[in-house]
Structure 1
C-alpha cells in the first residue's frame, strides 16, 4: 500500500543518483551542527568564559535566532532562487560560520567573532533544512517509495559522524580552528559535488530554460496562498506535536532522569542514548513499514506509542520502566516529521511552498519547544512540564487523517522505476 506514486520518466540510475545526493545533503547538515556542538568545551576555553554556562547559553541563543531567521527567509529565497541554488548558498553560509567560530575561539579569542559565526551557522542550516526537505519530497514523489524517514535518519548519521570526529579531534589535541576549517571545506566541496546530481525542477522554483519564468511577485503570492489550506494546517499540527516531542527530548530527557527520577548524570546520558537510538532505528525501518500500512495508521501507531511512552516516563518507577518509556517515546516521534513533509508535497500544485510551510512549523516547534518546557519546568517541575508534550502528541494522533495521500495525486506509473 504505497503512499507515493512513481511519476518520473528518468532512468533508474538518474533517480538513484538524485536520491543519494539528497542523502548526502542531509548528512552534511547534521555533520555541520554536531561538529560545533562537539567542540563547545574547546570554544568556551578559547574564549576564557570560565565555568559559567550562561555565557555559552547566550552564544547558543545567537545560533537559535539565526536558525529562526533562516527558516523565515527560506520560503522567499526558495521562491526566488529555487532549492538548487538555495541549498548551495545555505551550506556555503554554514561553512563560513564554522570557520568564523574556529577562528574566533582559537585565533582571535573574540566572543563577537564566534557569535557572528554561530548566527551564520544557524541561518544557513535553517535555510537548508527547509530546502533539503523540499528536494527530498520531490525525489520521493518521483521514485514512488517512502524515503523521507530514511533521509532524516541520514541527518542523524551526520550528527553521529560529527560528534565522533569532534571527540577524536579534541582527544588528539587538534585546535578548534583547524578542525572546524576542515569540516567547512568538506561541507562546501561536498555540496558542490552533490548538487550536480540534483536535477533542476521548475515545480520547486528552480530556473529551467525550456519553461518561461514566473514573475517573483506571482510566485510569492502563490507561496503565501498555501497557508489558507486547512489540510496543510492539520499536517502542521502533526508536525508540531512530533517536532515538539523530539526537540524537548533532546534537551531535557537527561536532566529529567537526573532531577525527576533521582538518577546519576551518567545514567541520564545513557537514557538519552536510548531515545536517540530508538528514534534513529524508527526512521531507518520506517519507510517500508509506511508503504505497507499507510501514512495515517503509521502516524496513529507511533503517536500512540509516543504518548504511552511519555506517560510512563513521567510517572516513573524502576529505572527499567523509565527506559521502556524513553524507547517508546523515541519510536513515537520518529516518523511524524518526515511523513508530514511527504504529505504536504503530494497531490497538489506548488509542492515547494507547501513543504516549506509545514517545515517552518516543524522546525520552529523544534527550536521553541525546549525553552517553553524549561519555563514550565521552573514553575511546575520538569516532569510535570512534559505533560504539554503529551497533549501535543495526542493532537498529532487526532490530526493524523490529514496525512492521507491526496486523491488528486498524479496517476501511478506502470512500475516503480527505482525498484
Structure 2
C-alpha cells in the first residue's frame, strides 16, 4: 500500500477505485456528523447554563464530569477498533454519543444537573471512541488514496460545527429550547451514520485476525497498546495534538460565553463568534492539504502554532468586539491542523496505527475535554478572556516538539527513482527526527 507523500515529494500511485472514493466520502460525512453533534450542544451552552442556573465554576465542573467518559474510554479505543473494526465501532459509539446528548438535553428540560452530567458521561464515551475509530478509517483511506486528505476530513468536522453553530444561532433567536433543538439534530445524524459506515474500508487485520497477528509481532492487541505508551515519537506527537486540541476545545466550550459576558452582547452574537472560529478552522483545513504537500508537516505546524498564539493574545487583550473577532479568526486558523496532522503522523505505520492513534487520541482528548473545564474554574477568579490566555503555555510547548510529526520513511528498500520526503523521519525506535 502506497502512503501519501505529504512533504512535497510526489510518488506514482494507482488511481483510487470506486470503493476507495466512496469510503472517502463516507469518512468525510462521519467527521461532519461528529462535528454536528458536538457543536449542537456546545453552541447552546449559554442556554444550558441559564436553564440550570449555574456559575462559571459550576459549569466547569459539569463539563469536567462529562469529560470523564471519554478519558476512561479512549485508552481502550485501539483494542475496540481491532476487535470490532472501524465501521461497527463508529456505528455503536456514534449512537451512544447521540443517546448521551439526548439524555443531557432532557436533564436541562427537567432542571436536573445530575441527569445532565450522566448524559455527558455517556456522550463522552461515545465521542472519544467514535473519534479514534473514524481517524483510523481516515488514515486507511488516506493511504489507499496516496495523497494528503486527513485535514479535509477534519474540515468535514468543522463543516459540521459550522452548520451546528448556524442552527444554534437560529434556534436561540427563535427561542427554541435546547431539549427540542439538540435531540432533533441527533436523530438526523444517527440515521446518516448508519448509512455512511456501510461503505467503510476494512483496515489491516479487521475481521478478527488482526489482533492475533499483532500480538505475535508486538504490533497490536494489549501488548502493542502498552508498547505505544512508551514510544518517544508517539508521545511527542501526542503533545503536539494536546496543544492543538486544547486550543480548539477551549474555543468550543468558552468562546461563546466569553463574548456574551465580557462584551455585554446576547447569546446569538456569542453563537456567531463561535461560528466565525469554526469557519476559520474549516478554511485552514481545506487549504492545509496544499500547504502540507508543499511545505511539509513541520513547517505548517509551526505556522499554525504562531497563528494560534497571536489570535489568543489579540482576543484576550482586545478592548473592542471587532478586534476580538480578528483574534478569533487567527485563533481558528492556528487551531486547525494540529489534530489531523497528528492523527496522520501516528498512523504512518499501518500495522501499528491502532495503538498509536489510541495513545495520541487519549492525550489530545485529555486536553480537549478536561482542559476547558479546568479553564472554567480559573475563569471564576480571573474572567473568561484572561483564563483563555493560559492556553499559550501548551501552544509554545507544542511548537518546540513539532519535528516529531515528520513522516516515517517506508520500511524496506526504496526504488532508485522514488521520491523521498525531505523531512521524513526514521522509525519510531530510532533517534528523534530533525526538522527540515
The interval holding the TM-score normalised by the smaller chain is 0.7 to 0.9
Aligned 8 A contact 1:27 1:158 in 2: yes
- The equivalent of 1:76 in structure 2 is 79
Per-residue CA deviations over 1:335-379 (Å, capped at 9, x if unaligned) read: 111111111111464111111111111111111222333344455
Please say if 1:339 is aligned against 2:341. yes
CA distance change for structure 1 residues 111 and 303 in 2, over 3 Å: closer, same or farther?
A: closer
Unpaired runs of at least 5, structure 2: 420-436
1:155 to 149, 154, 157: 157
Output one character per residue of 1:194-238: Cα deviation in whole Å (capped at 9) or x when no partner. 1111122234xx216799765699611111201221111211121
Say if 2:18 is the partner of 1:13. Answer: yes
Match of 2:100 in 1: 97
Unaligned runs of 5+ in 1: none
- Residues 272-311 of structure 1: matches in 2 within 5 Å? 272-311=274-313
State how far apart, in whole Å, the 2-side matches of 1:353 and 1:283 are. 25
Aligned mates of 2:322, 2:47 — CA distance in 1: 35
Instruction: Kindly report the root-mean-square deviation, in angstroms, between the aligned alpha carbons of the 2 structures.
Output: 3.9
Q: Distance in 2 between matches of 1:50 and 1:112?
A: 13
Q: Equivalent residues in 2 for 1:70-149 (5 A)?
A: 70-101=73-104, 113-149=115-151
Match of 1:235 in 2: 237
CA 1:272–1:142: 2 relative to 1, 3 Å? same
Distance change (3 Å), C-alpha of 1:238 and 1:409:
farther
The reply to whether residue 264 of structure 1 matches residue 264 of structure 2 is yes
Shift of 1:291: 1.1
Asked if the contact 1:79–1:220 (Cα under 8 Å) also holds between the matched residues in 2, the reply is: no
Q: Secondary structure at the match of 2:161?
A: helix
Aligned pairs (5 A) from 1:247-262? 247-254=249-256
- DSSP-derived class of the 1:228 partner: coil
Rounded to whole Å, the distance in 2 between the matches of 1:284 and 1:344 is 21
Separation (CA, whole Å) in 2 of partners of 1:123 and 1:317? 39
**CA 399–170 in structure 1, closer or farther in 2 if over 3 Å, else same:** closer
- Which of 69, 72, 80 in structure 2 is aligned with 1:66? 69
Going from structure 1 to structure 2, the CA distance change for 1:20 and 1:263 (only over 3 Å counts) comes to same
The separation in 1 between residues aligned to 2:320 and 2:175, in whole angstroms, is: 40
Mapping of 1:260-409 within 5 angstroms? 263-266=263-266, 271-316=273-318, 321-347=323-349, 349-378=351-380, 383-408=385-410
Please give the alpha-carbon distance, in whole angstroms, between the structure 2 residues aligned to 1:119 and 1:152.
24
For 2:233 and 2:407, how far apart are their aligned partners in 1? 11
Greater Cα shift, 31-40 or 132-141: 31-40
Cα deviations by residue, 1:374-409 (Å, 9 ceiling, x for unpaired): 344455665554443223222222211111111136
Deviations 1:218-267 (A, max 9, x none): 611111201221111211121121112222233344555677xx633357
Q: Find the residue that maps to 2:190 and give its secondary structure.
A: helix
The change in CA–CA distance for 1:198 and 1:300 in structure 2 (over 3 A counts) is same
SS at match of 1:338: helix
Cα distance change of structure 1 residues 83 and 379 upon mapping to structure 2, 3 Å threshold: same
Q: TM-score, normalised by structure 2?
A: 0.78
Distance 1:311 1:409, change over 3 A: farther
**Per-residue deviation at 1:282?**
0.9
The Cα offsets for residues 267-323 of structure 1, whole Å up to 9 and x where unpaired, read as: 766554443322221112211221121111111112122223333444446655444
More deviation, 87-96/372-381: 372-381
Q: Quick one: structure 1 residues 50 and 406, their matched pair in 2 at CA, closer, same or farther if it must change by over 3 Å?
A: closer
Match of 2:31 in 1: 26
Check the 8 A contact 2:74/2:128 in 1, yes or no.
Answer: yes
